Amino acid sequence: MSPRKHRNKTKKVILSLLAVAAIALFIISLLINSIISTGIKSFGSKALGTKVDVDGVAFSFFGGHLEINNLTIQNPEGYKIINAMTVGQIIVNADLFSLFSDRIIINEISINNIYLDFEPSLTSGSNINDLINNVSNYESAQKSKSKNPTENTNNKQTKLLIKNFVINNGNVVITSAFTNSRAQVSIPMIQMKDLGSGSDQNAAYVLEKVLQQILIVIINVTSNVGNIDIRGVPIDTGVIGRTLGASVDAVGDGVSSIFGN
């Protein structure tokens, strides 16, 4: 075989191997995206106690980049609007090597185009409060399981550290079941640093802290919107209480006592 023919044959073999590698990488990428999407839906639904869905995810091994599109969190039962939260885009930049350890390090999470529907309630404070309560209960249950190895041997919790968490381009709509009114306002950028920096803080803990911060911001920006008067309940280290409506001012003190001082 002449040197030229040998080079051509070698080139064809290399190109064939590259094509096979590209196809394999594409299939693996699809599988990983499917696994991540299923994981988000499963964990989110269990932790929040309501349906969580995503339209699609795209993960890249190069730099540990993850993009999540159109994430929705439904309201708990008993609320007027179907979804409590809709997020257009979530961009995650993770430390790739930490994904294989018992503590995942995420350099940044950037949330863009978030739409919140805030619906106060006389029984629990609001739909956001209900979600916070659900996450808190889930976290407590998981910690209880992890301390009881005889119940389940696979309950080791993966720890999570988020160095920078940012929410951009947010809007909140207040839905009042009492006055049958709705009002929309934009929310400022939310930024949180070093979420999960403690030794035993997992994804549920981080999710709870994010929801609490979102609720605080909602309270601040919607304290007086149009004819809707929002009355505050003192923020405790646990649940943040909230109620709404000029028409329910008379029961405001009673609601406050439910959530503590």
Q: pLDDT, tens digit, for every residue of 25-61? A: 556 666 777 888 888 999 999 999 999 999 989 888 7
Q: What are phi and psi of 119, to 5 degrees?
A: -125, 105
Confidence of residue 254 (pLDDT cuts 50, 70, 90): very low
pLDDT in tens, 137-184: 998 888 777 666 555 445 566 788 899 999 998 999 887 766 666 788
Reported as type and span, the H/E element at residue 258 is: helix 252-259
For residue 71, the model assigns a pLDDT of 95
For residue 36, the model assigns a pLDDT of 86
| Average of per-residue pLDDT across 119-129 | 84
Task: Tell whether the model's pLDDT for residue 79 goes beyond 60.
Answer: yes
Predicted TM-score of the model (pTM): 0.74
Task: Tell whether the model's pLDDT for residue 255 goes beyond 70.
Answer: no
- Give 202's DSSP letter: B
Burial of 109 (0-12, 13-18, 19+ CB in 10 A): buried
Output the CA–CA distances (angstroms, integers) from residue 193 to 17, 114, 161, in the order listed. 45, 19, 10
Task: Tell whether the model's pLDDT for residue 22 goes beyond 80.
Answer: no
How big is the CA angle at 132 (ends 102 and 152), to the nearest 5 degrees? 40
% of the chain surpassing 70 pLDDT: 67
Distance CA 138, CA 135 (A): 5
For residue 253, the model assigns a pLDDT of 35
Residue with tokens 């990488």: 25
